[in-house]
Amino acid sequence: MSYTVFARKYRPQTFEEVIGQPHISQTLINAINTGRISHSYLFCGSRGTGKTTTARILAKCLNCETGITSTPCGKCSVCIEVSRGMSMDIIEIDGASNRGIDEIRDLRERVMLAPARGRYKVYIIDEVHMLTPEAFNALLKTLEEPPLHVVFIFATTEPHKLPATILSRCQRFDFRRISTQDILKQLQYICDKEGITSDSNGLLLIARAAQGGMRDAEGVLDQVMSYTGGKEVKRDDVLVVMGMVPEDVLVAIINAIINQNGNVAVEMVNVLINKGVDMSQLTRDVISHLRNLLMVKIGCGEGVLDITTESKDILKEQSMQLSVESILKAIDCLREANEQMKYAYAQAGTILETTMVRLCRIQTEIPLSEIIEKLSQMEQRMATSYPELYEKRECSEHLQVRPLPHELYEEKVEEKEEYTETERHDDYQSLIPISTEMSLEKIIQLWPAVTDTIRIKRPPVASHLSCGRIVNLSDNILTIEFDSSFHKSGVDKPEYRELIEAKIHEKTGKALKIKTVLAQEQKTLASTVTVSQTKKMPSIHPVNDPRIERVMDMFEGNRVT
Ligand SMILES: [Zn+2]
């Protein structure tokens, strides 16, 4: 007796037997029972989800000798012929290999002929999206005025490639991917019927790898049976047949990542490569393991997990050692690697090795969200310390930390409910500018802006000015010290001073006079400076300089000397 593959042997023969598409079966049953049969159907969905099977059942329903029925007898010669794919009235065409205009013209001519035995001629065109535009045009003519005895069923995995003119003339049905649990049930059913003893972990592995395609799952089961030559499905055999990485190896790889042992991870990958494991498959397996870790981590139920009970404990333990962010980043990294491998397969080994090293460092990388948070805290502090800087940027939309005017402040506080006294105090602290008086350090802070505006009007003046140092501010007189008289004289002309003072006013909002001194003079002057004046001057000793304190505060730094 010849061997029939499981996919054919266990192909559903009635709507009730179709797995995972109750929404489609029910609609078709109702349509048949009420006599509302369309002349063109479009079945969309990924492979192995039951499109052709459903098309054949529909054909049987229309032509069964017992009459048009949603429950074909399965015994009459028509039903048997359709099931065997031998009916003259059911014409199955592969759109990929009959895609030209000649084939469709030929089809149009034959469409006109009456069915040989049944009531309807059913044309099932698979992969219909492969037809050429000319072929679609030719087909459209038939679809516009189909003969009464014809039903078209188009099947496609890519409905978006069909012209709108075709789409609008079809009744569309979207086939869902079949759930792992449904596939598992069917595999179990086949094993029971065939007298195959099965280790449920093995079947689960097949069901998961099929990714919603029943035909693929049944195909793998066939392969496993051929491989073992026996009557048993074991998990290890499935792994070998599918070229998948055993779970304990995946667990070990993830452990290496958790422990940041780049060398261990790379060595393990190399052992697998030398054993001939397909690297894309390996990448996908690691992704799938990480996906399970993520599901455990965020607290998903077992239905989502599709894992064996033994591995659940291991997953739980591993998931506790990785953050959600790290897992997500690791999955992204591996996906990226998988994409790269498609285009540079010769380098797949290197890509995977470097990816492993990256994964081992993933936990030490500071998350972007944390960096953004730090920056925004820093900006907040800047805004508090230097409100005048932020007011200048009023128009900038992204700036939200600009201090509020005092009168608005009260409203702002009232908006917030359940304020504690500390919070209220803190809010005051962050909203009120610490000082409204112009200090030396603020001038120094704003000085580049001042010289920049001068540079626009008189570049040489700005150049001379930038060779000077601001050394003192007292009684609205700003002292600028120069090392050479050449630069000093470059700013000393009255018209230049006026310009400089005007720009200082413009940028700082303060009317200050400038005084220029030579470094030599300043030193001799220093001995005559009174005590009160020295107090006003900021100390320039690096250890005590308040500016350094402020910088350290802003960047949360510490002294290291
Ligand atoms: Zn029948």
Compute the average pLDDT of residues 460-477: 86
Residues 397 and 528 in one domain: no
Write the pLDDT tens digit of every residue in 114-161: 998 889 999 999 999 999 999 999 899 889 988 999 999 999 999 999
Evaluate if residue 9 carries a pLDDT over 60: yes
| Centroid of ligand 1 to alpha carbon of 39 (angstroms) | 21
Q: How sure is the predictor about 437, in pLDDT bands with cuts at 50, 70 and 90?
A: low
Q: Domain with 66 in it: what CATH number?
A: 3.40.50.300
Report the greatest alpha carbon distance in the chain: 123
pLDDT at 310: 67
DSSP bridge pairs for 416: none
Distance 81 CA to ligand 1 centre (A): 9
| pLDDT attached to residue 17 | 94
Measure 107 CA to ligand 1 centroid, in angstroms.
26
- Rounded Cα distance between 371 and 108, Å, is 66
pLDDT at 432 over 90: no
Question: How many structural domains compose the chain?
Answer: 5
- Which of the 8 DSSP states describes residue 174? E
Q: Is residue 560 part of a domain?
A: no
How much distance in Å is there from the Cα of 11 to the middle of ligand 1? 17
**Separation of CA 36 and ligand 1 centre (Å):** 20
Q: How far apart are CA 371 and CA 378, in angstroms?
A: 10
Residues 445 and 550 in one domain: yes
DSSP state of 395: T
Q: Quick check: is 205 in a domain?
A: yes
Ligand 1 center–CA 76 separation, angstroms:
4
Ligand 1 centroid to residue 61 C-alpha, Å: 8
Residue 390's domain spans which residues?
Answer: 369-431
Which of 242, 268, 284 lies at the terminal end of a domain, its last residue?
242
191: Cβ–Cβ under 8 A, 6 or more apart, which residues?
A: 197, 198, 203, 221, 233
Ligand 1 centroid–CA 71 distance in Å is 9
Alpha helices in 386-467 (DSSP H): 387-391, 406-415, 421-431, 440-457, 459-465
Token duo for residue 162: 């069909």
3-state secondary structure 1-56: CCCCCHHHHCCCCCHHHCCCCHHHHHHHHHHHHCCCCCCEEEEECCCCCCHHHHHH
- Estimate to the nearest angstrom the gap between the alpha carbon of 43 and the chain centroid: 29
What is the model's pLDDT at position 531? 40
Domain boundary among 336, 361, 386: 361
The CATH code of the domain that includes 210 is: 1.10.8.60
Judge whether residue 393 has pLDDT over 80. Answer: no
Q: What does the block give as tokens for 366?
A: 């500071």
Does 530 lie in the same domain as 511? yes
What's the rounded Cα separation, in Å, for the pair 50 and 215?
Answer: 8
- pLDDT for the residue 560: 61
* Residue 77 CA, ligand 1 centroid: distance in Å: 7
> What is the distance between the alpha carbons of residues 177 and 207, in angstroms, rounded to a whole number?
12
pLDDT at 306 (0 to 100): 62
CA dist 435 and 385 (Å) reads: 9
pLDDT of residue 546: 66
Going edge to edge, which strands form the sheet with 477-482? 469-474, 477-482, 513-518
Ligand 1 center to 32 CA (angstroms)? 15
Is 167 in a helix, a strand, or coil? helix
pLDDT at 441 > cutoff 60: yes
Determine the Cα–Cα distance for residues 170 and 166; give it in Å rounded to an integer. 7
Q: Are residues 187 and 166 part of one domain?
A: no
Q: Report which secondary-structure segment, H or E, holds 238.
A: helix 235-242
Does 93 have pLDDT greater than 50? yes
Mean pLDDT of the residues in the chain: 83
pLDDT of residue 492: 87
Ligand 1 centroid to Cα of residue 79, in Å, is 4
| Whether residue 47 is found in the same domain as residue 151 | yes
Ligand 1 center from residue 68 Cα (angstroms): 9
* pLDDT tier, 530 (very low <50, low <70, confident <90, very high otherwise): very low
State in Å: Cα 60 to ligand 1 middle.
7
pLDDT at 543: 56
Do 262 and 134 lie in one domain? The reply is: no
Confidence of residue 419 (pLDDT cuts 50, 70, 90): very low
Residue 297: give its domain's CATH number. Answer: 1.20.272.10
Question: CA 54, 57, 63 angle in degrees (round to 5)?
Answer: 145
Q: Are residues 447 and 478 in the same domain?
A: yes
CA distances 271 to 432, 481, 516, Å, are 64, 70, 75
Answer whether residue 226 is part of any domain. Answer: yes
Domain match, 158 and 274 both: no
- Whether 411 and 451 map to the same domain: the answer is no
Q: How far apart (Å, rounded) are the C-alpha atoms in residues 209 and 317?
A: 24
- Do residues 19 and 162 share a domain? yes
Rounded-to-10 torsion of CA 244, 250, 256, 260:
80
Cα of 85 vs centre of ligand 1, distance in Å, is: 14
Strands (E), 47-164: 90-94, 121-126, 150-156
